[in-house]
Amino acid sequence: MSKSVVSIVRYEKPLESVRKAVDLCGGLDHLPSNARVFIKPNVVFWTRKVVFPKWGVITTSRMIEDIVVLLKEQGIDDITIGEGIVGRVKDEETPAHAFENLGYNLLNKRYGVKTVNVFDREFREVDLGNGETLNFNADILDSDFVVDIPVMKTHAQTVVSLGIKNLKGMIDINSRKKCHNADPEKDLNYWVAKLADPMPPMLTILDGIYTTERGPAFDGRIRRSNLLVASADILSADMVGAKILGYAPSEIPHLVHAANNRNRLCDLSDVKAVGEKIETVASRHKYTFPYNQDDSLPLPMAKMGIKGLSYRKYDLTLCTYCSGINGVVLAAIAMAWKGESWDDVEVLTGKSMQPNPGRNKTILFGKCMYQIHKDNPDIKEMISIKGCPPQPKSIIKAFRQAGIEINPAIIENAEMAPGFFMKRYEGKPEFEEKHFTVE
């Protein structure tokens, strides 16, 4: 049986390194002539409010332009860059700002590349087997060829976020929420494993110029790694990428599902790695944020001596829209701690957490938690935050009702928070802004 080829290349020179990675794996060998090509970057987050660390969070514009150049050399004229940036519903300004600042509009002027915010486009229901459906962006489904360019990072919920996980940006909001369900058998990993199934022929190239542990966002730890991983087979690329990040493919639940769906072993027995050796470039990247022994508080908050509060560790059911504010709320709570125990407060998030009987106050964070537990007799005093996602005013009101005087400015100005993480990288020349511009 022939093996899938995956190339591993050190990033040394613009275009030249990307060309080497693509050529070594034969990534464009099956590109149809006059193809409609869809490029899927990883723009997991964007804000117009502050400058924030994009390294290891967002696909470098350097990589995008180099791929465009290689496609143009193949005679391809119909190229679209598309992404569904997480943000406010019907927010057109933030994606437009992202595309402008990442240089995509210059790629339009220079090469005729189109850009689309997928939330402005048609979604189409796709049967993924057994009558299970998700709604995918029609542009990527109707393309002849896809270039999937995720950042190489670990992920607090799915262990790694690579080629397959990057395609979650191509489904609509309801489908994203559906992926974060409370079914223990058909959980987030089960659904993520299916995301590549309806795709056209594809080249996956993992952008590891910068890598991130405890991703997927700016609050993780970013490294300059200078690595590229490429393959015409997305699962093989992801298995090699996982190994480079320090994990056996069998440790990644969605890769196990994906391998089973394809009747493959979840290892590298049918993969041929070329270029650099995996063992020489591999580096363990932690994926989970540390909590105390019973997972009732983030470890830094427990070390502060915080008492009278249980804010349990997130699970797979916490969707993108609640998780986006979750970290900011935790920061606000930490800043509100003055050394006196709170009134035995517990906070429940996601869709599966159960209240502990006897707690004095229980905050139900988000619409899903409220719907599940609004009539739960085990809750002594219920404090509900019903929004989807929760709105700042309701968050502030709920915690104050629980006796936790969080600073309203922190919650109301949550979009400013990413700017604080820039301080980690000040004065470090290996973190270059130029990688996110088109010159």
Residue-wise pLDDT for 227-265, tens only, equals 999 999 999 999 999 999 999 999 999 999 999 999 999
The pLDDT confidence band at residue 89, using thresholds 50, 70 and 90, is low
Q: What Rg, from alpha-carbon coordinates, does the chain have?
A: 22
Examine the pLDDT at 88 and tell me if it is beyond 70.
no
Q: How far is CA 4 from CA 7, 32, 230, 242, 257, in A?
A: 10, 20, 11, 16, 18
Is the four-CA dihedral 393, 396, 399, 400 of positive or negative sign? negative
pLDDT-derived band at 387 (thresholds 50, 70, 90) equals confident
Mean pLDDT of 366-381: 96
Strands 133-137 and 159-161: unpaired
pLDDT given for residue 1 in this prediction: 64
Mean pLDDT of all residues belonging to the chain: 96
Residue range 393-397: mean pLDDT, rounded: 96
- Tell me the per-residue pLDDT of 108-162, one tens digit each, with 9 for 90 and over: 999 999 999 999 999 999 999 999 999 999 999 999 999 999 999 999 999 999 9
pLDDT in tens, 304-329: 999 999 999 999 999 988 888 999 99
- HSE at residue 392, side-chain half, CA atoms within 13 A, is 12
User: Which helix (H) or strand (E) segment is 365 a member of?
Assistant: strand 361-365
CA distance linking residue 376 with residue 392, whole number of Å: 25
Residue 102 near residue 108, CB atoms below 8 Å: no
The pLDDT of residue 119: 93
Q: What is the pLDDT of residue 87?
A: 63
On the question of pLDDT at 290 being above 70, the answer is yes
The C-alpha atoms of residue 19 and residue 15 are separated, in whole angstroms, by: 6
What are the residue ranges of helices labelled H in 305-391?
320-336, 367-373
Q: What is the pLDDT of residues 269-288, one digit of tens each?
A: 999 999 999 999 999 999 99
Phi, psi angle pair for 89, to nearest 5°: -65, 140
**Do strands 221-231 and 271-275 pair parallel, antiparallel, or not at all (unpaired)?**
unpaired
pLDDT per residue as tens digits for the range 61-83: 999 999 999 999 999 999 999 99
Supply the pLDDT for residue 321. Answer: 81
Respond yes or no on whether the N-terminal peptide bond of residue 216 is cis (omega within 30° of 0).
yes
Q: Are strands 123-127 and 133-137 parallel, antiparallel or unpaired?
A: antiparallel
How much is the pLDDT for 389?
A: 84
- For the cut 90, the answer to whether the pLDDT of residue 92 exceeds it is no
Q: Please give the pLDDT value at position 199.
A: 98
The predicted model scores a pTM of 0.96
Helical H segments across 272-354, by residue range = 278-281, 299-303, 320-336
90 pLDDT exceeds 80? Answer: no
Angle, in degrees to the nearest 10, between helices 320-336 and 392-401: 40
3-state class of 123 per DSSP? strand
Structure token digits, residue 260:
């089973």
Both structure tokens of 65: 């332009």
Residue 323: the pLDDT is 87
CATH number of the 4-287 domain: 3.40.50.11440
